[in-house]
Structure 1
Amino acid sequence: MNEVNKAEFWDTLYKINSVGWDLKTPTPAFLDLFKSDYFKEKSKLLITGCGYGYDAVAAAKSNFDVTAIDFSETAIQFAESLAKKENVKINFLVNDFFLLDENYFQSYEIIFDYVTFCAIDPARRKEYANKIFQLLKPTGIFAIILFPIEKRIGGPPFAIDVDEATKLFSDKLELILSTDNINSIKPRKGRELLQLYRKSNG
């Protein structure tokens, strides 16, 4: 289990191109959120586990102020090249998400996660939820596509129980949307769920 907590594990997968989670294109359900009321009048966006940066570039092209973080230096190098090619400005961070300190607290109006929550050590999921809360601005939105919502042994990706995840994030955030009626790619249809959470203004 410890290997998923190390940057070297993920960087090696990117180096040998063993990245089956990568869509090679922006996440369709994420694109659908860009013009939704949930993202309206919000700009500062953090993408966790950004990988090759397709979502980050798409968000930047839609005028979001994007910060994108990943463990893997190889992934970030590709993402930086993609951003340069597409002529967009993105703040890329090669860092451990769990190590983002008080300099980043309450900095983001939106945080987006797709296939990061399922990749971390399941024992650290509560720690992950707490970090999301720390990084969000008051009234900020946490958008997550839970995948894979199925019973499976081993990982990554590690199986996600929807009730368990909902309870975890709802401890400090308000669940405002939970739906499987999203634009999923064919192999993942019925195996993922979009949830949106809001941080209170208090």
Structure 2
Amino acid sequence: MNLNETYWASRYREDETGWDLNRISPPLKEFIDQLEDKTIKILIPGAGNAYEAEYLFSKGFEQVHVLDIAREPLENLKLRVPSFPEENLHNVDFFKFHDTFDLILEQTFFCALPIEKRNLYAKKMTSLLKNNGKLVGLFFNMEFKKKGPPFGGNKEEYLTYFGTEFNIEILENCTNSIPPRQGNELFFIFKKN
């Protein structure tokens, strides 16, 4: 399976987006609600329909950047939020993207990548984060019966990718997941070393 732009674009066109909550993820909303500095530069990679970006923008965060390999979800965000800055919408392969950010939010992007790209993901995150920047989000804490995406995993595995590049501030069971994911998600805050 080639998880490229064509694959993901077709998932949006055919409305095969089972990961899409049609709203911001409750754990990320709770985290965002605690952010005070609205000048920070934020990236949401593999953002899909980017409800997190919409929420951040509505709260006055203006340096929110959204990245997706498929154009369709970026267009969906622009339809919902016409004033969202066009220059902050990046239709590009995550691994070919270059910039630096204070905060990167992870929401269902990591689990969409083939497992063999997880080390590359961790390394790419370090290059995209400024010194003391943070990677914050959710990982699945389960294995899936069918072949992915999504691809599952567990805390011990994730530590092998992120334990040397980041200070693991939090990596624990998520207490406010949506009901279908309750008990199957880990919330994390990783700070770049």
Structure 2 length normalisation: TM-score?
A: 0.92
SS for the counterpart of 1:144 is strand
Q: Structure 1 stretches (4+) deviating beyond 4 angstroms?
A: none
Aligned residue pairs: how many?
Answer: 189
**d(CA) in 2 for partners of 1:43 and 1:82?**
23
Which residue in the other structure is 2:167 paired with? 174
**d(CA) in 1 for partners of 2:113 and 2:22?**
21
**d(CA) in 1 for partners of 2:175 and 2:52?**
16
Aligned partner (choices 72, 92, 95) of residue 95 of structure 1: 92
Superposed counterparts of 1:112-151, under 5 Å:
112-147=105-140, 149-151=141-143
Superposed counterparts of 1:11-22, under 5 Å:
11-22=9-20
The structural deviation recorded for 1:34 is 1.5
Contact kept, 8 Å, 1:44 with 1:66, in 2: the verdict is yes
**d(CA) in 2 for partners of 1:92 and 1:145?**
22
**d(CA) in 2 for partners of 1:83 and 1:129?**
30
Q: Is residue 199 from structure 1 mapped to residue 189 from structure 2 by the alignment?
A: no
SS for the counterpart of 1:109 is strand
The structural deviation recorded for 1:77 is 0.9
Which residue in the other structure is 1:110 paired with? 103
**d(CA) in 2 for partners of 1:9 and 1:79?**
19
Q: Is residue 50 from structure 1 mapped to residue 47 from structure 2 by the alignment?
A: yes
Superposed counterparts of 1:35-74, under 5 Å:
35-36=33-34, 39-41=35-37, 43-64=40-61, 65-74=63-72
**d(CA) in 2 for partners of 1:35 and 1:52?**
20
After superposition, give the CA deviation of every residue in 1:148-202 in whole Å (9 maximum; x if it has no partner): x2122410001112211122112211000122243211000001010100013xx
Q: Is residue 83 from structure 1 mapped to residue 81 from structure 2 by the alignment?
A: yes
**d(CA) in 1 for partners of 2:142 and 2:28?**
21
Aligned partner of 1:187: which letter? P
Q: 1:187 and 1:32, CA in 2 relative to 1: closer, same or farther beyond 3 A? A: same
SS for the counterpart of 1:196 is strand
User: Which ranges of structure 1 fall in alignment gaps of 5 or more residues?
Assistant: none
**d(CA) in 1 for partners of 2:184 and 2:174?**
11
The structural deviation recorded for 1:94 is 0.5
Aligned partner of 1:59: which letter? L
Contact kept, 8 Å, 1:60 with 1:89, in 2: the verdict is no
Contact kept, 8 Å, 2:69 with 2:92, in 1: the verdict is yes
The structural deviation recorded for 1:22 is 0.2
The structural deviation recorded for 1:116 is 0.6
User: Which ranges of structure 2 fall in alignment gaps of 5 or more residues?
Assistant: none
After superposition, give the CA deviation of every residue in 1:54-113 in whole Å (9 maximum; x if it has no partner): 1111011122220000011111111111121xx444611111101113xx1xx2000011
